[in-house]
Amino acid sequence: MIQLLRINAGRFFFKRRSVLILLALLAGYICCCQPVNHEVPLFVGQPPGTRISKIKEDKRFDPLVDSLVSQVTFPTLSIFKPAGVTHATPAVIIVPGGGYHTLLIEREGRQMARVLNEKGITAFVLKYRLPHAGYFDNRQIVSLMDLQQAIYLVKKMLLNGA
């Protein structure tokens, strides 16, 4: 009877390594696909300094590093508001790093925003254009332009009570 159960269990269940890989992929999916409270584009229409191109934003997951974003052509600002807070709170803009060739958007952006939300702070995560791409008119300053626009939008939102 015991041998019969072992045979059936071996036939119907995954091996331990397969289960661990499946769990790792599921954890990566859950981390990458957490909903953002709200995401707004930094610019209406084509961002200034961007040449018209058909380059698509590259989103990928690396289990050793993070969820990575590169080839950003349309920068956005993700808004994370603390749950259950109705009054005005302090705010901070988070600019994720990645060596100017990719953005570690989850680990250095969204995770930090969630930590700040737990402390009652509103967080804005900036997904900015990266200067290494050749589809910008003045690629040395596109990241700075995105940060300046993000500061402007956050001030505007906070003054309007949003």
**How does pLDDT run across 71-103, given as a tens digit for each residue?**
888 899 999 999 887 777 889 999 999 888 889
Q: pLDDT tens for residues 146-162?
A: 999 999 999 998 888 65
Long-range Cβ pairs for the range 73-76 (8 Å, 24+): 73/47, 73/129, 73/133, 73/135, 74/41, 74/43, 74/47, 75/41, 75/42, 75/43, 75/47, 75/126, 75/127, 75/128, 75/129, 75/146, 75/149, 75/150, 76/39, 76/40, 76/41, 76/42, 76/126, 76/127
> Strands, DSSP E only, in the chain?
38-41, 58-62, 66-70, 76-80, 91-94, 103-104, 122-127
What is the pLDDT at residue 30?
35
Classify residue 101 by its DSSP letter: T
| Residue indicated by tokens 């505007």 | 156
What is the pLDDT at residue 87?
78
Q: pLDDT tens for residues 21-77?
A: 443 433 333 333 344 578 999 999 888 887 766 778 888 888 877 788 888 888 999
Q: Is the Cα dihedral 103, 38, 30, 74 positive or negative?
A: negative
Q: pLDDT tens for residues 96-119?
A: 998 888 899 999 999 999 999 999
- Sequence letter at residue 70: S
Nearest to 54 by CA among 68, 73, 75: 73
Domain boundaries, the chain: 1-33, 36-159
- Sequence letter at residue 68: L
